[in-house]
Amino acid sequence: MALWRVWQIFDVRQVMIGLGAFLFGLAIMIHFVLLSTDRYNWFDGPRSAKSSASIPAMPK
Amino acid sequence: MDKQGLYLGNVSDAEAKEFHNGFMMGFMIWLAVAIVAHYLVWLWRPWLSMKTASIELDQAISTITTLLT
């Protein structure tokens, strides 16, 4: 084990900055992808009038 | 004791262990928040269950029915 030794191999500052940038970018991308869908858009829901007219009740 | 190879040599053992403890604590908190959030979203709209497929199937059936009538 001795996983703590990773901080003697990689610079803490660079790892924290890299992780922050990567995780933020990934999170932003995933949230935007969800917003672009019909089912997972949590603002106003489905866009097209046809799907809102014909969509059956959401299963709970 | 001189370590060779990968070791940068700018962090003592005690410092590395201390940071590692803090990093692991923060990581666990972040992981707990993420798991709770994913669970709540699953309750709202599950994304792997057969319900996902059946909703699109229902929509397709409704669309085709509307187009035919």
**Which residues in chain B are contacts of A51 at CB distance < 8 A?**
59
Span B41-57, pLDDT tens digits: 999 999 987 666 667 67
Single-letter residue type at A14: Q
**Substitution target from A1, A3, A4 for chain B, most B beta carbons within 10 A:** A4
Task: Read off the pTM.
Answer: 0.72
**Which residues in chain A are contacts of B10 at CB distance < 8 A?**
11
Q: Is the pLDDT of residue B25 over 90?
A: yes
What sections of B1-69 are H helices per DSSP? 13-44, 50-68
Nearest CA in chain B to A59: B51
Residue B29 CB neighbour total at 10 angstroms: 10
**Percent of chain A clearing pLDDT 90 (strictly above):** 67
Q: Which of A3, A10, A54 is facing B66, going by the closest CB pair? A: A54
